[in-house]
Structure 1
């Protein structure tokens, strides 16, 4: 049995937030460094008209592996501690980047993303660590702060990756690997363990290796079902946008890679504003339940505005659309993270956060398939449908709120 209560006097506190924040920044920066060059690396091995297909498959393979691994890594972090699992995840990512950068054949690129996906427990472990070390009332604020830190990484990474990719398409991969190794070293020397043991761990249950079983087990907690459903709607809709936005902007506004990179830079800026500033102000006043519904509503409006670019193909309207969409995104995520963390029993934080990461990976695996079906009907259809999915998630939260009054 483990003791991960925030009342544990040995649990690390304030200083660890800085360590976690630096870890998250380096991790997100490393991940986003490679985004601008993936199509060029894939293009070495497939005809030009097949690049989009294989990029989508590589993204889906990573998400599938992350879906399979996340609950297992979460259970391992409950059993053996957050720190060793975080180190394993970071080293796995570094190895995956190196394999992808070495290339030589298309299957090697897939292997690199498979290795990275199977060790993709970084974010869920970080969130479980915060839940271990902070009282429920503090978690939303910390998650908002970490969201802003991730926004800095998302803002910096693609731009730097674009510049490095101009020198060599493989350079961002090796720089990302170096950054991730640096991050692992930082965790090793600076991050204390948050799981304190008062008894030897119980016997390992092999059913914990089944991601669907883990997810179903977590959903036995009745107060987690609707939040998980709403989060799935949010990430499914977001994956539709992320997988299709560059193609959409190229077709509607004739954007090139540089313009798309600066658009992603704007997304990072808004993440910082919404998660780092607005959430800190609004969460104590409105509460996490209200903020999740408000975030999804604003998110749906942002989807509708992006879809309307076909009628108003202007950069100013794109900027307004990205502002609204990212505002909703930034309000929803830290508030929902607080709801899920507070609903989980103290000794199940790793499993719950792992299951949450698994359902996000499932959404990110299925979401990119929707634009492939919808875009031939209408280029803007994925964004109208994305807005509708966000509204479904908001409605589920609203009905739950009414039922529990």
Structure 2
């Protein structure tokens, strides 16, 4: 649990300051949003390619060495980003962070190894809550530390990851006994192989495609979030950090209180529909905030989008899991996760380029278009 909490802090402590660190190395300020979104896409691509490899090797050599490698690798990535000096250093740091970005998934596997099947849902819930608390706290810490220097949150993030790695090295026992390990195969480490399971059934294809239309602009929004607030409202790192934290707190509250209530009031299909409507409505307010330079509209838009996303995600996973047999759950949910990772590669690149070509509100317009398409496609698939 301590490792999970520190991972959450380390992952988000750098979020408010990335545009400020990159700015001195971008000749044309209009290209800055694309550079930042490209850094996000590179990270997502490396996670996508490395996740099945890390998972397969953790099955072969155990969870502990992979987890320690991920934590020290993340620390090195943060350290390089803080040192900077050239754009290629920033991209190298994101590659290292992406390749070793499987620490949370390895921790999930560690919890699975260490708990009885009937206790796992409870422990996974605690794990999500602890990770969410760290994720919500990280941006506030990062924004506050930026007062001293923009690179300080990166160095603190590196320290958090390295201390976490040392803690795991000294205190964390191996959870996977040698008798349960299996040799990694080429099939297991092929990331493209993940996708084949989503094309086996019409219902699966429809719901995954609906979600993919939402994931694309979501990845773009997350990539340009900080840059948008700087260009549109001249926000400081502290304000950006507070907004990130507010979203994290909202997500925790929505998962803990709103979703259980909604499941008693309406079907999963209705929750999916309202989730999409919430996201599209949020994009509309974000778009208007850019046109009228009104940060209050941005705040309400982001909260509305976040609420829609918070109720869509669990309803989507629940609906998808009901479309397949028990023995195929892992394959199909893994394929879905692969599609989400792919969207987080394409979305930031698309949003960043639109940001440069047109205006800062362009990624929000993209969200309205794709979200409207998702709503229409979902309505047609339910008819």
Same fold by TM-score greater than 0.5: yes
**1:77-96 mapped onto 2 (5 Å cutoff):** 77-78=58-59, 84-96=65-77
Kindly state the Cα deviation for residue 240 of structure 1 after the two structures are TM-superposed: 1.9
Unmatched 5+ residue regions in structure 2? none
Residue by residue over 1:175-202, the C-alpha shift from the partner in whole angstroms, topping out at 9 and shown as x without a partner, is: 2122223434555645773x6787663x
Aligned with residue 366 of structure 1, among 339, 346, 353? 346
Normalised by the length of structure 2, the TM-score is 0.80
**1:312-391 mapped onto 2 (5 Å cutoff):** 313-339=293-319, 349=330, 355-375=335-355, 376-377=357-358, 379-391=360-372
Q: Which residue in the other structure is 1:170 paired with?
A: 151
Aligned with residue 195 of structure 2, among 216, 234, 249? 216
Q: 1:103 to 1:313 in 2, by over 3 A?
A: closer
Aligned with residue 96 of structure 2, among 108, 115, 120? 115
The CA distance in 2 between the partners of 1:370 and 1:285, in whole Å, is: 38
Residue by residue over 1:284-332, the C-alpha shift from the partner in whole angstroms, topping out at 9 and shown as x without a partner, is: 6546554333322211111112112245543433332222111112112
The CA distance in 1 between the partners of 2:112 and 2:328, in whole Å, is: 11
Q: Report if the CA contact (8 A) 1:237-1:386 is conserved.
A: yes
Q: Which residue in the other structure is 1:160 paired with?
A: 141
The CA distance in 1 between the partners of 2:319 and 2:112, in whole Å, is: 11
Q: Report if the CA contact (8 A) 1:90-1:180 is conserved.
A: yes
The CA distance in 2 between the partners of 1:57 and 1:272, in whole Å, is: 29
Q: Which residue in the other structure is 1:179 paired with?
A: 160
1:205 aligns with 2:177: no
Q: Which residue in the other structure is 1:296 paired with?
A: 276
The CA distance in 2 between the partners of 1:126 and 1:395, in whole Å, is: 38
SS in 2 for 1:166: coil
- Stretch moving more, 340-349 or 267-276: 340-349
Q: Which residue in the other structure is 2:289 paired with?
A: 309
SS in 2 for 1:206: coil
Kindly state the Cα deviation for residue 114 of structure 1 after the two structures are TM-superposed: 0.8
The CA distance in 2 between the partners of 1:293 and 1:84, in whole Å, is: 43
Q: CA RMSD in A?
A: 3.7
The CA distance in 2 between the partners of 1:253 and 1:317, in whole Å, is: 11
Q: 1:366 to 1:183 in 2, by over 3 A?
A: same
Kindly state the Cα deviation for residue 142 of structure 1 after the two structures are TM-superposed: 7.1
The CA distance in 1 between the partners of 2:211 and 2:374, in whole Å, is: 7
Kindly state the Cα deviation for residue 98 of structure 1 after the two structures are TM-superposed: 2.5
Count, aligned residues:
377
Normalised by the length of structure 1, the TM-score is 0.76
- Stretch moving more, 357-366 or 77-86: 77-86
